[in-house]
């Protein structure tokens, strides 16, 4: 019990000593200060992003019929032109065979019409048949040619319909879940696709940036093309909070600004050889912003008043408040000053909110570079 009492007594004495030291420093006007100098900073800004495969295709049948076979597993990698489903071929095979037979019949009718015309031409020259008979034979030939063309077109259509019974993948990719089973009746108008195939060998991360941020970025690189070509690689923070191991590149910026949000859509592309990222996922794109020859000060050197930011300069040995304008981008502990400070200015680096205008300052001077 005596030990506990001694401990609290010691703590009380230390606390009182610290307060007396702080009051003494304040009374003497000794405050840490820094000299403003130019430096460089690379800040990172995060943007919520939606992840999509470089190509995502919803596959629907081009004909109506019953599914007789499903040749892939859900989540399986598929190749371009690989057969995924088979739709009942029986009626389409019959239609194709009928179309082939009709073509042969039409070809025979055309041959007959040609023979009749040749015969009537000879007979007409011998005055055996009339001109009407000759013209009728010519018309029969034209009709036979048209019927053959029609039958051939029908044959092509029937052949295509038969080929459509094998539903193939138009791209390389990974299959989604399959909502249909063998025996299901499907058509080209089904609301839900047979399967979705996503080419995720690379993925796109779509995100939005405020118009003013986009303009700042383009002006920093002097043109949109320069921004696209010279902007450093970007990172992706996955939904589990971990940073994706491969860096990406911004490769598209929308040419229009959303009227509803005032934001610009931007796309970054990331390699995805391990298929870790999936179509429909989410994450955060992290864009580095490089500030060169800028003025950087600690946030502890500032105080706010009515949404305005101020610092205390040391002018003729006294504290003089000055409003500053800072970049909206910061790392949480420092501000990038855009206006209000000049190289060589001396400012109070800590406790600015506790100082009064005109306070006499005895500075412990350091430079902003040393403060870093």
Contact (Cβ atoms closer than 8 angstroms) between residue 362 and residue 28:
yes
Indicate the residue among 262, 291, 320 that finishes a domain: 291
CATH number at residue 126: 1.10.287
**pLDDT of 352:** 84
Residues 176 and 77 in one domain: yes
**pLDDT of 16:** 44
Residues 185 and 141 in one domain: no
Residues 74 and 115 in one domain: no
In a domain, 22, yes or no: no
In a domain, 181, yes or no: yes
Structural domains of the chain, count: 4
CATH number at residue 358: 2.40.420.20
3-state secondary structure of 252: strand
3-state secondary structure of 89: coil
**pLDDT of 364:** 61
Q: What is the pLDDT of residues 75-88, one digit of tens each?
A: 898 999 999 999 99
Mean pLDDT of the chain: 86
Residues 319 and 281 in one domain: no
Question: Can you list the pairs that 239-242 forms with residues at least 24 positions away whose Cβ atoms lie under 8 Å?
Answer: 239/281, 239/282, 239/283
DSSP letter assigned to residue 244: P
Mean pLDDT, residues 199-211 taken together = 91
Residues 177 and 205 in one domain: no
pLDDT classification of 186: cutoffs 50, 70, 90: very high
Mean pLDDT, residues 320-339 taken together = 89
CATH number at residue 234: 2.40.30.170
Residues 111 and 233 in one domain: no
Strands (E), 108-262: 166-168, 173-175, 185-186, 195-210, 235-238, 249-257
State which residues form the domain around 178: 61-83+172-192
Q: What is the pLDDT of residues 132-145, one digit of tens each?
A: 988 999 999 999 99
Residues 79 and 176 in one domain: yes
Indicate the residue among 291, 318, 333 that finishes a domain: 291
Question: Can you list the pairs that 130-135 forms with residues at least 24 positions away whose Cβ atoms lie under 8 Å?
Answer: none
Q: What is the pLDDT of residues 341-352, one digit of tens each?
A: 999 999 999 888
Indicate the residue among 223, 258, 291 that finishes a domain: 291
pLDDT classification of 45: cutoffs 50, 70, 90: confident
pLDDT classification of 29: cutoffs 50, 70, 90: low
In a domain, 253, yes or no: yes
In a domain, 14, yes or no: no
Rounded CA-CA distance 88/69 in Å is 9
**pLDDT of 192:** 95
Q: Which residues of 37-64 are buried (b: 16+ CB within 10 A; e: fewer)?
A: bebebebeeebebebbbbbbbebbbebe
Whether the pLDDT of residue 14 is over 70: the answer is no
**pLDDT of 303:** 93
In a domain, 8, yes or no: no
pTM: 0.61
Q: What is the pLDDT of residues 71-125, one digit of tens each?
A: 999 989 899 999 999 999 999 999 999 999 999 999 999 999 999 988 888 888 8
Rounded CA-CA distance 105/151 in Å is 9
pLDDT classification of 200: cutoffs 50, 70, 90: confident
Mean pLDDT, residues 239-251 taken together = 93
Residues 200 and 270 in one domain: yes
In a domain, 297, yes or no: yes
Phi, psi of 234 (to 5 degrees): -115, 155
Residues 284 and 204 in one domain: yes
pLDDT classification of 8: cutoffs 50, 70, 90: very low
Residues 276 and 204 in one domain: yes
């Amino acid at each position: 019990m005596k030990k506990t009492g001694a401990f609290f007594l010691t703590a009380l004495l230390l606390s009182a000593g610290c307060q007396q030291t702080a009051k003494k420093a304040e009374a003497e006007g000794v405050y840490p200060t820094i000299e403003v100098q130019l430096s460089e900073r690379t800040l990172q800004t995060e943007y919520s992003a939606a992840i999509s495969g470089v190509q995502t295709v919803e596959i629907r049948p081009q004909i109506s019929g019953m599914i007789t076979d499903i040749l892939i597993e859900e989540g399986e990698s598929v190749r371009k032109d690989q057969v995924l489903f088979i739709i009942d071929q029986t009626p389409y095979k019959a239609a194709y065979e009928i179309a082939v037979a009709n073509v042969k019949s039409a070809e025979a009718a055309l041959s007959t019409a040609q023979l009749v015309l040749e015969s009537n031409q000879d007979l007409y020259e011998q005055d055996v048949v009339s001109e009407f008979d000759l013209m009728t034979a010519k018309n029969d030939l034209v009709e036979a040619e048209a019927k053959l063309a029609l039958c051939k077109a029908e044959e092509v259509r029937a052949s295509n319909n038969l080929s459509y019974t094998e539903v193939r993948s138009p791209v390389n990719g990974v299959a989604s879940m399959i909502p249909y089973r063998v025996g299901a009746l499907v058509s080209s108008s089904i609301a839900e696709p047979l399967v979705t195939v996503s080419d995720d060998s690379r993925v796109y991360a779509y995100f939005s940036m405020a118009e003013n941020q986009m303009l700042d970025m383009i002006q920093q690189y002097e043109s949109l093309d320069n921004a696209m070509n010279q902007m450093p690689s970007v990172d992706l923070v996955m939904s589990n909070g971990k940073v994706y191991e491969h860096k990406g590149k911004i490769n598209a910026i929308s040419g229009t600004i959303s009227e509803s949000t005032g934001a610009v859509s931007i796309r970054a592309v990331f390699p995805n050889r391990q298929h870790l990222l999936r179509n429909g996922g989410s994450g955060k794109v992290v864009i580095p912003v490089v500030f060169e020859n800028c003025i950087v000060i600690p946030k502890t050197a500032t105080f706010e008043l009515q949404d305005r930011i101020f610092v205390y300069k040391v002018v003729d040995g006294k504290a003089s408040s000055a409003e500053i304008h800072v970049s909206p981008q910061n790392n949480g502990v420092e501000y990038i000053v855009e206006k209000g400070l000049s190289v060589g200015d001396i400012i109070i680096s800590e406790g600015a909110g506790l100082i009064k205008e005109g306070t006499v300052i005895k500075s412990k001077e350091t430079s902003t570079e040393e403060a870093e």
